Amino acid sequence: MKPELLDVVELLVDLPEAALQAGELGTIVETYGTQAYEVEFADTEGATLALKALEPEQFVVVWKHSTQAWVPLADRIAALLQTLPEDRQQQVLNFARSLHKAPA
């Protein structure tokens, strides 16, 4: 899924120099081809906390501006998996299998 202007993204990595942690949400405010995206992180009142140029591997899109809708969880997980090396993807698959086998 190609990130686009005004999409909301979830940070996948900690950025201690900007006091940002994985899981924080930001909005793409500028695109630099497909190699980097300027993302604004704001507080609940809309004040900018940080403005960072991020590579696509550092975030996953969680809300699409073009559709005005949240990205389905399965699509978010698939996008996240694509950022992981093959051995880590296998670990996630094994974990998912164990959840599937476990009684609810």
Tens-level pLDDT at each residue, the chain (104 residues): 799 999 999 999 999 999 999 999 999 999 998 899 999 999 999 999 999 999 999 999 999 999 999 999 999 999 999 889 999 999 999 999 999 887 87
In the block, which residue shows the tokens 């695109």? 31
Q: What angle do CA 25, 17, 7 make, to 5 degrees?
A: 25
- Give the pLDDT of residue 86: 95
- Give the pLDDT of residue 83: 87
- Give the pLDDT of residue 1: 77
Secondary structure letter of residue 31 according to DSSP: E
Q: How far apart are CA 24 and CA 87, in angstroms?
A: 26
- Give the pLDDT of residue 65: 98
Q: What single letter denotes the amino acid at residue 101?
A: K
In the block, which residue shows the tokens 């476990």? 102
> Residue 52 corresponds to which tokens in the numbers above?
């960072």
- Give the pLDDT of residue 53: 97
Q: Classify 83 as helix, strand or coil.
A: coil
